[in-house]
Each structure stands twice: as structure tokens, then as C-alpha cells.
Amino acid sequence: MTSYPAPAAALVAAMHAAAAADPARAVAFQGAPGAYSHQAVREAFPDALPLPCFSFDDAIEAVQSARAGRAVIPIENSLHGRVADIHFLLPESGLAIVGEHFVRVRHCLLGVRGAVREDVRVAISHEQALGQVRRRLAGWGIAAERYADTAGAAALVAEAGDPAQAAVASRLAAELYDLDVLAENIEDAAHNTTRFVVLSREAKLPAPGYPLMTSLLFEVRSVPAALFKALGGFATNGVNLTKLESYLKGGAFSAAEFYADIEGAPDDPGVARALDELRFHTNWVRILGTYPQARSRELPGG
């Protein structure tokens, strides 16, 4: 997608103008107005000025260049896993994670006014959203077609005016683009939730009294039991590791890089000891940010 569909273009222009007049209040997000990232901005920062961006790179660049004070970026979904590219973009961005927010994703099938679900032959949406409604669409005999984002797909359906074409997107997108909700809560699992992180140019000291999370990256050495030894300090110091994902960079298969979330802050005694041990057994460790925990990791609704 190199430009927004016409129904979204006017909204984008107005939002860009408002953000340009007060960039400190602007919060960048990827997608067209009505995207779940837009919903996350509205929920997390009700008084902010949402700034729509074509791509994750564009949203990050808006913060880097001070066109926005913060960005809200999806990092993982409870049903479809991690969001592609984010783990590569975060360490290269130079930005700090200063918060997190969870959005309960309630997908709707959106069609033009007067359409019914039985009319629909193809549903358009972002690949993440399509993966989250795969079984429902298959049961209805509706083909899936990828698009750059959910709300942009809704705007495209509004522009086309074809009752055989629908979008998988939010109820907010239906309101913004004057579409009918042909079916709602169509996600394949009731726990469908996306976790977003808040990015800023500078790290922010969290307010006292809140449970904290710390996100970090590290690269293990290419030796036997490297990961086992690197993570041992978290177990012996009672530090809860809530997320651990590996990925390879630069075409090398000799040493993996890992993204991790832990409960606590680097200056907590147990966390400090665990990080010291982690550094001893790895090539490098990079702290991405420490921030208030938005909710418990124990239960989908926690």
C-alpha cells in the first residue's frame, strides 16, 4: 500500500495536520484510521493526537524525528503469535519501551451498506487478522485476501462498493467508513488479544508502586548449553521470565539473538544478579526499557 484508499485519505490528512500543530501530543501508529493500533492509542492515551503511518518504520521514524512524542506498536497476539519485523525494528530504532497496552481484538466482518454475509465472496485484511479468523472464514466459504492493514481494507471496501467484498476489521473502522457490521466477534478464539508497546525517544523512570516489566535483547555465545547457562540466573534469583523468543540476523546460524520480557527492574537486587549472570554467558545484553506492567500474565483477562 503506497497510498490510503480515498475514504481514509481525508481522515489521515486531518489527523496529520492536528499532529503537526502539536507534535508532543501526537502518538504514531501503523495503519489507517480505525486500525486496532488506532484503537490502542485511543484507549491508552485518550487525550493524545493519533498519527496514522503507512508502516512500522514510518511510525518509528515519526518518533525519531520528533513528529510524534510516542508510538504505539503491536508486538504479539495471543492467537497468531509475534508480529513480523518488530523484533528487528526495535533494537535498530534507538527508542525505549516506556509502556505496554493490551487490546481485546474483536474482529468484525464489514460490508457495504445493505450487504449480507451470504453475499460475501472475499474478505480483505491484514495477514495477522486473517490468521485470527481463518477457521470462521473457511466455514463460510469466504476467500481471504491480504492487505496492508485492517482499517485500510475497510476503507478499500467502502471505496469499491461491491457487496461481494468485505473487510475483517474493527467496529471503529465500520463507524469511520460507514460500513455495515455483517458479523462480529468472528475471531477463532475468545482470548484473542494483542499486546502493544509504547515507544519514546527517551527512557522514562516508572512511577513507584506499580509492578514493573523489563524488555531486553541478548545474543548467546556459540557454545554448548549457552542458553541454559545464560538463563540460569533468572531461576536462581526468582525472576519470572514471561516471554522468550529467538531470531537470527545477518544470515548467521552460529549464534541466536533473543528477545525477553521479565518481571521487575534492573536495579532490583534479584534482577541485577540475574542480569550480571546473563552478561557473563552472552556476547551482549541490551535493555530496551522498564515500564509499568499493564496487567497480569496469568489469565487472558487478567
Q: Which helix (H) or strand (E) holds 7?
A: helix 6-21
In the residue annotation, 236 being an active-site residue is answered as: no
CA angle, 91 then 97 then 101, to 5°: 125
Nearest by Cα to 123 from 38, 33, 132, 176? 132
Residue 99 dihedral angles phi and psi, to the nearest 5°: -175, 170
E-strand stretches of 33-172: 49-53, 70-77, 81-82, 96-104, 108-111, 122-125, 143-146, 165-169
Q: Among the options 150, 193, 194, 214, which is catalytic? A: 194
Q: Among the options 196, 218, 234, 258, which is catalytic? A: 196
**Residue 188 · residue 135 · CB < 8 Å:** yes
CA angle, 260 then 84 then 102, to 5°: 65
In the residue annotation, 194 being an active-site residue is answered as: yes
With H, G, I as helix, E, B as strand and everything else as coil, classify residue 247.
strand
Give dist(CA 177, CA 158) in Å, integer.
6
Q: Which positions are annotated as active-site residues?
A: 194, 196
